[in-house]
Structure formats: C-alpha cells, structure tokens
Amino acid sequence: MGVAANANLARLLSPSTIAVVGANENLGMSNNAIRPMLETGRRLVLVNPNRDTLYGQAAAPSLSSIGEPVDAVLSLVNAERSLVVLEEAAALGCAGVVIAAAGFVESGEVGATMQLRLQEIAAGSGLAVIGPNCSGFKNVPLGVNLFTGGRLDLTAGGVSIVSQSGFLVRSAMAAAGERRLGVSIAVSSGNEAVCDLADHLAVLAADPGTTVICLVIETVRRPGPFFEAVALARAAGKPVLALKLGRSDRARRIMQSHTGAIADASWVYDLAFREHGVIAARDIDDLLDRAQLLAQLPPSSRRPARRIGMITTSGGVAALATDLAEDHHAPLPALDEIEAWVRERVPGDTVNPLDLTGFVMSKAELMEEVFEQYAGVVDVLALAWWAGVGDEGWSTTLLEPFASVAARSDIPFVVTPIEATTLGPWIDGWRDRGLLFARGVPSLYRAVDALDRFVAGPDRLLQDPADVEHAGVRPPLLDSVAGQIVGFADAMAILVECGVPVAPYVLLDGDELAHPGLGDLGDRLVVKLADVPHRTELDAVRLGVDQAGVAAAVAELRAIARRSGVPTTIAVQAMVAGFGEAFAGLHASTDLGPVVLLGMGGVLVEVAGQVAGRMLPLDDATAMMLADEVAGPAVFTGLRGQRPWPVPAVAQVVRGLDRMWRRHGGWIASVDVNPLIVTAEGLVAVDALIVGRDSGGR
C-alpha cells in the first residue's frame, strides 16, 4: 500500500462513522461486534436488506443506500457477497472494509480467484481492507468494536496489537487485561489480501495513542516495508515486540542440513528481529510480559536496566527469586557497595535479594532508608509483594513507603507478586503515584530484559540488500540432486576471488590417473568425486591417501560415479592439518532477506552449540562481532583442552561470504563452505557447495 492507502487504513482503524453490513441479532459475530458499541453510545449504521429494524433502530437496505462515505465498514456476509460490499464501499468513497468471511485463497482455486478480485477492487479505489478471514479490530479509546471474536472488555491505554491469527489476537488482549495494561488498537489481519503487517505497523507508528506495539506473526510478506515500519516505530519511541509462530529446533536443523534449510526457519526471524531492534517473544504470556514495563514507563524514563535490586519479605521468596534470576539470566548484582550499611540494619544472608524482617517492616522510616539506598545503586528496584484481586487491604504497609521513595527517584520502582497472578484493579491508584507492576517475578525479569534491549537499540544500521548490485559472472551450472550447482573448480575459484583461503588441489578429468601437480600436494591426500554434493552419502571420499594409492582410489571412485550416474571428475587435495573445524554459508533468499551463517563444526558443534548469523550485507565490524560470537575467547572458557581460534581469520571468512553475495547474489541461491579447517595461520576451506538459482543469472 502507498501513503494514500495507509491514510485510509488509519481512517479505518480510528473511524468517526461505522456501518455493519449483514447485521443480524441471531448471528453471534454480529452480537459480539455491535452490542458493546451500542452500550457505549456509538452511532452505527446497520445494514440488512431483510430487516426493517435491528437492535432497536432502523436498518438500511444496502450500503449504497446510506448515500455518503463511511469511515469503517464491517462486512459479516459471505465471501461472494463481500465483493459486492467492497464495490459499494469503493463507489461511496469509504475508507475501508473489514471482511470477516472465510472462503478466499485459503479455500482453493475459486476462493483464490475471489481474493484476486478483492485486491483489484481495492487497488482501483484505494480502499483499505482488513482480512478477509479475520476477526476484525478494536479501537479501545474510541469505543470501536468491529471485533467478532467474542466479548472482551478492556481499559484504554497505549499497547497496540496486530495478529495474523484471529484467535491469538484475543489471547493477547486477554493477556494485556491480566496485567492491567491498557490497549489502544488490536487488529486481526487475517489473509492480508490488501493491508498486511507492514501497513498496520506503519499506521501504528504514527498513531498518537500507541506507545508499544505487539505483533503475532505467521509470516512477513514484505520484509523491506516491514522493517522500514519498524524503524519508523523506533524513531517515534515505540518498542516493537513480536511472537513468531511455527518455532522449531532451529539449531539442530541448521547443523544437520545444508544452509538452504534455514530459508523458512524462525531462526532467521530471530536473527532479523535482533538486528532491526524487534524484541522477540516465545509465547503470548512472554510477549505481554515483555511489554509490561515499556507500556508503563514514559519514553523519557526508559533507560538501561542492567542491575536489578530485589526486596522480599520472606526467605523462601528471596531464594526463589534468586533461582528464577539464574534461570532467566537476570542481572541481580551482589551490591557490595551497600552491604555494610544493609547488614547494620537488616539481618540476613544476602543483600540482593534482601529479605526484610518483621522488625524492619514495623518501621516505615527504616524501610524508606532501605529503599533509598537500593535505588542509588541499581537500575530497577523490585518489591516482591502481593498485587492480586483482594490484596489491597494489606498493600499499604509496604507500598506506602515504596511509593514515597519512588516519587524521589528516577529509576523504575516495580511491585510484583512472586506468582503469575491476575493483577487487581486497585493497583491503578498506586500507578498514579509512580509505581509500576509486573505479573510475577519471571515476568519481571522478562520485562526488564525487554526494556534493556529496547534502550540498547538494533545491533547495527542495516543496508537495504536491494541497494547492492550483483555484477559477478555466473559460471556453468551442473544438474545434481541438490539442484543446479557450481563445479568444484569454479567453487574454489569463487572462494579465492572473495578472499577465502582454500586447500591446494588438482583435478583429474576423463580417464586421467595422474597430474603434474600431484607431487606438490604432499603425501597425505584427500581423493574425492569433485562435482557432486553430499559425497559421504555416495561413499565418495577417501582420506589419508598417499601418492602411491592415488590411482587405486581414483579408479574406485570413478566406478562409484558411473554406477550412480554422476560426473567422474576427481579432486585430489592436500589434507590440511588443523585443530578445529568450522562451517559457514549464506542463503540469498530467506523470508526476510539474505543471511550469512557461521558455526563450529566437528565435535564442537554439539559441545559449544555455537551457530550464529547476520543479515547481509555486512561490514568489517559486524563480521568481527559474528566471528567473536562463535569463536571468541569467551566461547572457549570452560572448553577444556580446546585451543582458541584466530578470530580475525574467522572474520575473514565471514567477509569473504559477504563479498561473494555482493558479487554473485544475482544468481547464487545458497553456499555451504564445510568444513573449514582451523589452523594456526587461519581458516582453510576444503570444500564448498554453491547452489545456483533455477533461472536467471548472468
């Protein structure tokens, strides 16, 4: 959608006038949407050609009969009839239509044809369309409830939600309610035939009532506009949090298959989110937990949150808070700087968390002193105390001194129950006095992590991959079980061209059993079929062959090649001695753009579990960061008997793959450089599988 169409989407989501087509008192979806709005006094035009009155008011026979534009139209009729509604809305000059009906592209060829017609109508008129096959949307501050997914009463606030799953948008709204977080706009985007995630995000980035944006994502259809909208939201001070559906055992899939296997994996989403500053969540509770502090803190108060101070009123709670902090990698520092002061006043074993004794709790002035001391040395001060429904009666004892000190401090003061209880409505009064609330200690740790991640910002400023011109010339491609691949010699030449060292080799073509350069390779050789992928599956590699054994190994491998119907060219390569193995690769066309992948190979792939990546293109500093993440000194801490890797040499390989993509990304689909032998001098590639695109290229 363009700027004008997004203006219509903004008008649709914040409408002054509303029409519901297919309104029917006997239809559950109709009641879910209409009754809450009538109860709050919203003026609606209800359309049904078969009824004179609906919900106690006159009904219109058609949308066209209204005779003037309407901001928002909710269509509750079937798929075929929805197209007629769309045409009428376009003729009237309406802003947009919410189409609840299923039966479009998800239902087969006939439905796909109808969805194409829907898109044509919208494109010709500039209509914004939410759906089809969706639950609609709510604008809570305006009392707009074009939402068919069941009644849900919410308080108005700054959290906006967009979900590609209609069911989960309701779950996210309910989770916000459990945390007493106010909601601004919540959208079920459905099939996204016209308005997709990028459009909704761009509108919310400009929406004055939205302060935090939560997304539930099945797929990002347009990565470029989506991440542009993320940048707009961040520039407006609005955190973007996302739950990607369809997660899997990402690292194992990557390690066990070639680089192309990550094309649709949520691993790529995690990677892209991190680099663009989107805060990733793992489930609905995690999503709204992470939104908690960001939603309650004004933008001017969002600061790094690397040190948490925890105050409890029970030794058991203190112990559990410590255990949970370890589980969540939460920063609970020792606070040595105030230990002596605390020990003079509060008995106990630990300073952070601190267990307030009954003696201290009987002295409000001493509690204030404790809170002030902690506030001076931490980034967030948390009080583990009850905050559920019915807990207001005993809240004052601790919350009064806590709020008193919070008013004099510039760090977040957070109250949280130890358990994930529903927060009571009475906490709103304490929020007015500057206290923040979390729904359980684990949720607090997640919320602090999200706050810190947002303040830290994206890992780097990314260049748009579309701005890179790929001028490299494509070599001949060979058909194989892995697709169209580059021959071994061409693959090695491309690596060298891009600055990746390769092991010396010679090729034996035709019936050759010898080569003038064989003697230069030494007496410890690797003999393998050159132009085939996945050689081990064919038993097509011989290791540790001496010069005298080359001819026999070549004959044996050629026999395998002839039986298997693959090329008979043989590569004889010097066997490289090293003290580690790595693998690296790139995939040029994942859901979210090109990525480079780096990991430890051999036995360390399971021991260290180091598999990481970055979006392409990248620069020298990013290549070094990736190399350090996978093979830096910190990785080898605790890996007994393992020799540290030369990180600059690892970064050289990463930069080589970036160069390869910059030059040859126009025709390369994926690259696997595996294994890379780690030596004292650097990394040496002994093999590479380069898969070309099925068509195109130079």
Q: Do domains 461-503+577-698 and 504-574 have the same CATH topology?
A: no
| pLDDT for the residue 698 | 37
Q: Write the DSSP assignment of 472-534 as a string of letters.
A: PPPPPEEEETTEEEE-HHHHHHHHHHTT--B--EEEE-TT----TTGGGG-SSEEEEESS-S-
What average pLDDT does this structure show over 584-590?
91
The 10 Å CB-count burial string (b at 16+, else e) for 379-393 is bbbbbbbbbeeebbe
Q: How does pLDDT run across 342-362, given as a tens digit for each residue? A: 999 888 888 999 998 776 777
Fold for domain 300-456?
Rossmann fold (3.40.50)
Residue bearing tokens 């992590």: 449
Confidence of residue 6 (pLDDT cuts 50, 70, 90): confident
Q: Give residue 258's pLDDT.
A: 39
Question: Hey, where are the domains in the chain?
Answer: 1-133, 134-296, 300-456, 461-503+577-698, 504-574
Residue 249 has pLDDT above 70, yes or no: no
User: What CATH fold (topology level) applies to the domain 1-133?
Assistant: Rossmann fold (3.40.50)
Q: Select the CATH number that applies to the domain covering 461-503+577-698 from these four: 3.60.15.10, 3.90.1010.10, 3.30.2350.10, 3.30.470.20.
A: 3.30.470.20
Per-residue pLDDT tens over the stretch 313-331: 889 999 999 999 999 999 8
pLDDT, position 253: 44
How much is the pLDDT for 263? Answer: 40
Mean pLDDT, the chain, integer: 91
Query: Which phi and psi (to 5°) does residue 473 adopt?
Result: -90, 135
- How confident is the model over 680-693, as pLDDT tens digits? 889 999 999 999 98
Cα–Cα distance for residue pair 143/37, rounded to 1 Å: 6
Among 117, 118, 69, smallest CA distance to 94 is for 69
**Which CATH superfamily hosts domain 504-574?**
ATP-grasp fold, A domain (3.30.1490.20)
> Which range, of 26-40, 227-241, 249-263, 414-428, averages the lowest pLDDT?
249-263
CATH classification for the domain delimited by 134-296, as one of 3.40.250.10, 3.30.559.30, 3.30.1490.100, 3.40.50.261: 3.40.50.261
Residue 191's nearest CA partner among 244, 292, 299, 118 is: 118
pLDDT, greater one: 672 or 643: 672
pTM assigned to the model:
0.90
Cα 436 to Cα 285, 355, 368, 433, 442, distances in angstroms: 18, 20, 17, 9, 15
Q: Please list the alpha-helical segments (H only) found in 210-335.
A: 223-235, 250-256, 266-276, 284-296, 315-327
